[in-house]
Structure 1
Amino acid sequence: MKPIIIALDFENQKVCFDFLNRFAHPEGLFVKVGMELFYSAEPAIISKLRQMGINVFLDLKLYDIPHTVEQAMEQLGRLDIQMTTIHAAGGAEMIQAAKRGLIKGSQAIGGLPAKLLAVTQLTSTSESQMQSEQLVSASLKESVIHLARLAVDNGADGTISSALETPFIHDAVGNDFLCINPGIRLKNNHADDQKRITTPAQARELGSNGIVVGRAITKAVDPQAAYQIVKQEWEG
């Protein structure tokens, strides 16, 4: 499965479900719940989405000491989510702890652990920003490859990164390692705050294992029609 994940970047639960109700058959959709919606609607929203038959990518990008991340991931693992995120820059011990927590949480509910995805460099970050603000002297490509290798070596299932980086991540760590790509825009969309963007068709050609699409669908006059356009491009 190579999902199209709709980013539900809404301010509250009502707006979220008003949006989903515009789909004739929301069951089977794959959605991303990020910090804004999760902190507003709390974990109960995950249960509601799962009851509707919707797959959930919970994108909280955890980054803390290993013990804290492990305990937090155990709680997230109990929510029956399908994907979740950490920052690869948190290091080897933190990545390992996140994986342990997810496994423990999923075992507690008799389910499968969520795929653990490690953020390399945010798609809103340019190489010049990374070098000047993070004091990373490597190139963006070198940084992304290094963090992808750190992630795979310590139990992560994939990365969250720009589709532009998918080919060299797969070259470095293998095609079984998931590359889930945000920063997806249709040709007539604005880039907004994203720097390293692609269309769904470009992401497919670059070998993406899944795309995260927000405003191209959620801000469309007809979200279901926009989703179908993305789907047609993505599936070729």
Structure 2
Amino acid sequence: MKILKPKQIIVALDFDSIEEVNSVVRLLNPDIYRLKVGKQLYASEGPKILENLNKKGFDIFLDLKLHDIPNTVYKALKNLLNHKVWMTNIHLLGGEDMIQAAREAKEDTKSKAFLIGVSVLTSLSKKNIRNMGFNIEISELVKILSFSASKNNIDGVVCSAIEVPDIKENLGEDFITVTPGIRIQQENDDQSRVATLKEATKNGSDYIVLGRELTASKNIAKMIKKVESYII
């Protein structure tokens, strides 16, 4: 079944070194996939990893989830946006002043990168957020944070595929949803609010993040072929 568009899939490069990255990236077509560089890889390789992947023709989602006082986020994001990235993010729990500072950093750098906000990590369960002091349902917390992002002209949110339909209904089709915790086939992992590729596309996810199920597979080429069987 053809349910995915080219470049709708973002592959998470959860590695420690450029050598590990290259072992996977050499199998990926930049006309089909985008790549996500998170804290693990960025802490190890720094900005040079962005240059390396850009030279290979990939769009980069720089996933550092900035969450700090507004001035620090403003300055950090300005520095990050000096690099060529397609998308980057902040954590929406940083509050509206921080969100506004991030938006201003994007405006001041005249960056065309998408700036999105992380709502509730897909590893968190209802019990987890209650232990953090949130006495509301996860879906309600995601909705509150997503409205805050939209109100402050952030381009979209990172959320679970479960929450996408409600976000799209309330904030419109142009408000971007990026969904991690997506499985090519259903299996157990350390993320609580997960979905399959078919479920994520049915729910309207704009961009789908695939991680260890693909990159840690014993047969990556076979798994890539399976993913590409879904692409239009």
Superposed CA RMSD? 1.7
Q: Which moved more, 1:66-75 or 1:96-105?
A: 96-105
CA separation in 1, counterparts of 2:188 and 2:118?
Answer: 20
Looking at structure 1, the residues matched to 229 and 100 of structure 2 have their Cα atoms a distance apart, in angstroms, of: 37
Q: Tell me, what secondary structure is at the counterpart of 2:195?
A: coil
Equivalent position SS for 1:123: coil
| Paired residue type of 1:16 | V
User: Secondary structure of the residue that 1:36 maps to in structure 2?
Assistant: helix
Deviation of 1:21 (Å): 2.0
State the distance in 2 between where 1:92 and 1:125 align. 22
Counterpart in the other structure of 1:209: 206
**Structure 1 regions of 5+ residues with no counterpart?**
none
Aligned to 1:56: 60
Residue type of the alignment partner of 1:191: N
The residue identity in structure 2 corresponding to 1:184 is: I
Q: Secondary structure at the match of 1:156?
A: coil
Structure 2: segments with no counterpart, 5+ residues: none
Letter of the structure 1 residue corresponding to residue 207 of structure 2: G
1:226 to partner: Cα distance: 1.5
Map 1:111-122 to 2 at 5 A: 112-122=111-121
Secondary structure of 1:48 counterpart: helix
Residues 37-82 of structure 1, C-alpha deviations (whole Å, 9 max, x = no match): 0010010110111111011000000001111101011011111101
Q: Indicate the residue corresponding to 1:196 in structure 2.
A: 193
> Is the contact made by 2:116 and 2:154 (CA closer than 8 Å) also made in structure 1?
yes
Matches within 5 A, 1:65-214: 65-105=69-109, 107=110, 112-132=111-131, 134-188=132-186, 190-214=187-211
The letter for the 2-side match of 1:193 is: D
Query: Is 1:7 matched up with 2:12?
Result: yes
Work out the CA distance in 2 between the residues paired with 1:193 and 1:33: 19
Change (3 A) 1:225 1:103: farther
- Check the 8 A contact 2:9/2:32 in 1, yes or no: no
Map of 2:22 onto structure 1: 17
Paired residue secondary structure (2:182): coil
Higher normalized contact order (CA 8 Å, seq sep 6+, divided by chain length): 2
Q: What TM-score does the superposition give when structure 2 sets the normalisation length? A: 0.92
Q: Which of 209, 212, 215 is residue 218 of structure 1 equivalent to?
A: 215
SS at match of 2:183: coil
Q: What are the Cα deviations for residues 84-107 of structure 1, in whole angstroms up to 9, with x where unaligned?
A: 1111111111111112212333x3
CA distance in 2, matches of 1:137, 1:42: 38
Determine the structure 2 residue equivalent to 1:227: 224
Amino acid at match of 2:92: A
The one-letter code sitting in structure 2 at the alignment partner of 1:13 is I
Q: Post-superposition shift, 1:217?
A: 1.1
User: Kindly tell me: are residues 231 and 153 of structure 1, through their superposed partners in 2, closer, same or farther at Cα, counting changes over 3 Å?
Assistant: farther
Q: Distance in 2 between matches of 1:196 and 1:74?
A: 32
Q: Distance in 1 between matches of 2:184 and 2:83?
A: 32
Moved more, 223-232 or 76-85: 223-232
Q: Which of residues 40, 44, 58 is equivalent to 1:36?
A: 40
1:139-179 CA-partner distances (Å, limit 9, x unpaired): 11111100000011012101001001000111221111001
**Residue 190 of structure 2 aligns to a residue in which SS?**
coil
Q: TM-score, normalised on structure 1?
A: 0.90
Q: Give the conservation status (yes or no) of the 8 Å contact 1:69–1:98.
A: yes
How far is 1:28 from its partner? 5.4
